Structures are given as C-alpha cells and as structure tokens.
Amino acid sequence: MALGFGGCVRFDGVQSALAPVSPEADHVFSLSWIMFWGSVAILVLVMVLGFYAVFGRRRPALDGNKMVIAGGVLLPLLALPPLLVYALALGDGLRAPPPEGALRIEVTGHQWWWEVRYRFPDAGDDFTTANEIHLPVGQAVEVLVTSNDVIHSFWVPRLAGKIDAMPGHANRLTLKAEEAGEFRGQCAEFCGAQHTHMAFVVVAKPQEAFEAWAAGQRKPARQPSSTEARRGLAAFLSQGCVECHTVRGTPASGRIGPDLTHVGSRRTLAAGTLDNNSATLAALIRDYQEFKPGADMPSHKDAFDQPTAESIAAYLEELQ
C-alpha cells in the first residue's frame, strides 16, 4: 500500500481512491500503481534515450528503424494486451450482479441532494432517507442509481468507482465495505450551481448495528417531547414545509425535498456539506439560500423569525 508518495500526499482521506476499503476499489488501486510505475519506467527510458541521443559521448550509430519498431510498435503491443486482459477480468467483477437476496438500495440524484431508498425482501420493511447510506460490513449491497433531473454521478472512492445517475436509466453498482467506518461520497458529474455541495456519507457498520439502525429508520417519527419541540412541529406543519418534505407519522408527505423522518440521526445537513447540529439546522431552516443559493429549498427569512426557526430545529433534532 505504501507504494506511492505516502509522505507528501494526503492519501488517507475519507474520500480517497488510494485508501480502498473494498476488494473492487483495492483492485483498481493496485492497477493504478501498476500503470503509474509502468508509465514512469517507460517515460524514464525514453528520456534517458533522448538524453543519450543528445549528450552521449560515444553514441553508436543507431539503427533508427529498429528502435522505432521496438519502442513504438512492439513495446505497446506487448505491454498493453496483458493490461487489457487484467482490466477485463476486473471489469467483469466490478459490474457483476450482487448475490441473490442482497440488500438493495435505490439512490436518486436530485439537484443537489441524494434520495436513498432501502428495499428489503419484505416490502413492508422499506424506508427512505437522504444523503446518508448505511451498509452492513462485509456484505455485497446492490445500489441502483438514477436521477430525477440532470445527470449526476454516484461515487464513493474508497468503495468503488463511480456510476452515472442518468434520467431514464437505472445503473447498477455493487458496494462491499470490508471495514467499518465512514466514507465520503460526492457527486462526480457536473450538475449545476451547487454541484460542489452535493456530497453524502456512507457508514459501514457490523450487521447487528446495521439492523438496529434500519429498525430505527423504519419507525415513524417520534412525538415531540418538549414544549419547544411541540411549537416546532406546529410551525413545521403550518409553514409549508409539508409541501416538500415527508415526516412519516405526521401529515407531512411532500416528495420534493429530503425525507426528514429521522433527520436528527444524520451526520450532515444540506447533502454532506455541513455538520448536523441545532445551530446549523436553525440557520438552514431560516435561510437555506444563504448556504446553498439556487437549491429548491426556499429561504424563510421573511416567513418567520429566528425563535420559530429554532423551535423547528429543536423538533427536527429530536427526530433521531
């Protein structure tokens, strides 16, 4: 693994293709280094040859034709087929259908957030969340990717290469995390003004923890427990949020924005851009456009005051 520039490059990042945690990403990682060092070797060879051509003291007379044929024709023709074969074997594995009965996750790109639907063998177990994907460690999971508007691209570098989210297509990707941890994913296909703020988090955890999480997500939203949160729920229901957001267990069933049923349990807000805490939440509710101009979530600066935003935030925070 320490083949590269380990010291001078932050390769350990949460989003780095050079810190693989899945067999697929690991294969591509080794392939990258093979190609990198292969390229370096050939480049150095050509440069040395060039330098020698220019500065060499006793350059022998050269059979140029032989050199051109050896370097220009034979070298690529010999070096590349093995690469092609390796790549093919790899490609086959990467796009292989997941095993029967694997967990299926449907991811839909929206400008500029990710809708995530979990599909279980029993449809009654399905649920929807956003901008955060939890996986059981060591299990292959099928991800079906599509888009609601423009083209996006679903990419979790540490787990696998990217696949485009195309309107009208459902592209498949198999994810398998070998290690528990949190990995950052990001939209890789340019999708407009806030493309830069369209990330998400993948959380890989042991099977039991995953199941506990899924059971929690399946439940409808809990009732507000404090007066503040109750005020927040009332405001949430009366301020038009319900047009766009769903909170299962309340009348809110909008489909334009992210499902908020368990928004309090999520690590980030606004599609992987901001840490989830009450201050940020209140600020976002008050004026989303300040943080993400152009997003489909309106600014509520003129609709209600800061205390109202805070009580809505208090309510949403409780939605663990």
Closest Cα to residue 307, out of 277, 276, 284, 286? 286
- Kindly tell me which residue out of 110, 134, 152, 176 binds Cu ion, with binding defined by CB under 5 A: 152
Nearer residue to ligand HEC within complex by CB, 24 or 310: 310
C-alpha 87/C-alpha 96 separation (Å) is 14
Closest distance of CB 298 from ligand HEC, Å: 5
Binding mask 247-276 for ligand HEC (x = CB under 6 A): ---------xxx-x--x--x--xxx-----
Closest Cα to residue 156, out of 168, 169, 174, 138? 174
Stretch of 27-35, 99-107, 148-156, 232-240 contacting Cu ion, by CB under 5 A: 148-156
What part of residues 149-168 is at the interface with other proteins (CB under 8 A)? 149-151, 153, 155, 157, 160-164, 166-168
Residue 233 binds which entry of ligand HEC, Cu ion, other proteins, none, with Cβ cut-offs from 5 to 8 Å by kind?
Answer: none
| Kind plus residue range of the DSSP H or E element containing 199 | strand 199-205
Q: How far is CA 128 from CA 106, 133, 293, in A?
A: 9, 10, 25
- Kindly tell me which residue out of 103, 116, 177, 187 binds Cu ion, with binding defined by CB under 5 A: 187
Nearer residue to ligand HEC within complex by CB, 32 or 148: 148
Residue 193 binds which entry of Cu ion, other proteins, ligand HEC, none, with Cβ cut-offs from 5 to 8 Å by kind?
Answer: other proteins
Query: Is 6 a residue that touches other proteins (CB under 8 A)?
Result: no
Cα of first residue to Cα of last residue in the chain, in angstroms, is 39
Closest Cα to residue 315, out of 268, 276, 278, 284? 278
* Structure tokens belonging to residue 150: 């423009």
